[in-house]
Amino acid sequence: MTSDRNGPWRKTVPPRLLAVLCLAWLTAACSAPRHGLDACLTAGCESHREAVTLSARYRVRTDAGIAAARQTADFMEQAADLWGPLFGDPDPAVLPLEVRLHQNTADLSALLARRNLSPLATGLYLPGPTPTIHTTCCGKEPGHPYRTLLHEGTHQFVHLVAGCPVLRGHGDNTGVRLAIPLWLNEGLAAYYEGAFVTPDRLEAGRVAPLRLKQLQQALRRGRAPSVGSLMAKHYGASFAPVDYATAWGIVYALMQEAPLSVEKITGRQWIQGVVEKSRQGWGALDSISSNRPARRWWDLITERTRADFEAYLAGSGIGLPEWEARWRKWILSLP
């Protein structure tokens, strides 16, 4: 039996039934992503006119309708309350924080392609010219888009809430310059991504099972990067899946505060100290105002963050190699 365009399907299937079958196929293809905002899952695939909603800290724009915009804004306000104890509250000058929710997944795909990013990415945070979180309304991954909003929303907070204020035109058109290194930025994003339980329930400090499994496997096989090499990575450098898992593992250990805390301050307090030093530009405001090349700025940030971490460890008389050995053992002991 042939299956070409002139084969038995065209000859034997009544046109009305064929139309119904085609509609059913299109509906099935359209609804294939089974995870998303309630407002999106019930609204179908059709894009709407742009809807915009404002909350206390966020402005959400979407082609998925006003209900989806409001649902997203409510979730982001809940997430901001989660980030607040570590980062503090956003300065009014950076508000509203922007979110773009795409009903049309092709829009996000085009955005990723223009930046040579993986087409598998579920979202991204663009730091300029208008710093905005981008993600899709629906997706195939459990917890979408909430986990993505938590991950990319952490990046937005790291940039705009924990960043260093500078004059516009001197390093960043937003008036805020990112001053936290890549490993800590990604580690915090992965840590808070794991806080998702339900759209109405977030719990920071939960283990991220997939990150943990990947990290444990890499440690057992000798493929995990050393803590020192990870801390030396700059923005724009290759950051593999195992790097994300390792960054998560370091931040998770520090935020848990046990059993790896040093005596004088907890790991969480150390991270809070880094956030404050980031806001102050690590004592290098002259480097920002003189518009030094980005490479030299990131050399400064990565070096000072690592030195600060080693000083934190030295407060209890241990060095980075000893801490790393304890950390690896502790990660492997987690169920």
pLDDT, tens only, 41-79? 776 556 678 999 999 999 999 999 999 999 999 999 999
pTM exceeding 0.85: yes
Q: Please provide the distance, in angstroms rounded to a whole number, between the alpha carbons at the two ends of the chain.
A: 55
Same domain, yes or no: 197 and 283: yes
Please give the pLDDT value at position 285.
Answer: 61
Question: Angle 178-280-172 (CA atoms, 0-180°, nearest 5)?
Answer: 35
Distance of CA 50 to the CA centre of its chain: 24
Please give the pLDDT value at position 30.
Answer: 45
Same domain, yes or no: 42 and 138: yes
Domain range holding 228?
180-335
List residues bridging with 135 in a β-sheet: 101, 123
Are 282 and 179 within 8 A, CB to CB? yes
Please give the pLDDT value at position 131.
Answer: 95
Q: Look at the block and give the residue holding tokens 């049309």.
A: 104
Check whether 22 has a pLDDT greater than 50: no
Residue 170 lies in a domain: no
Distances in whole angstroms, Cα of residue 324 to Cα of each of 224, 318, 321, 327: 12, 10, 5, 5
Residue 230 lies in a domain: yes
Kindly report which listed range (183-197, 212-226, 272-286, 320-334) carries the lowest average pLDDT score: 272-286
Same domain, yes or no: 78 and 207: no
- Give the count of domains, the chain: 2
Residue 209, preceding peptide bond in cis (omega within 30° of 0) = no
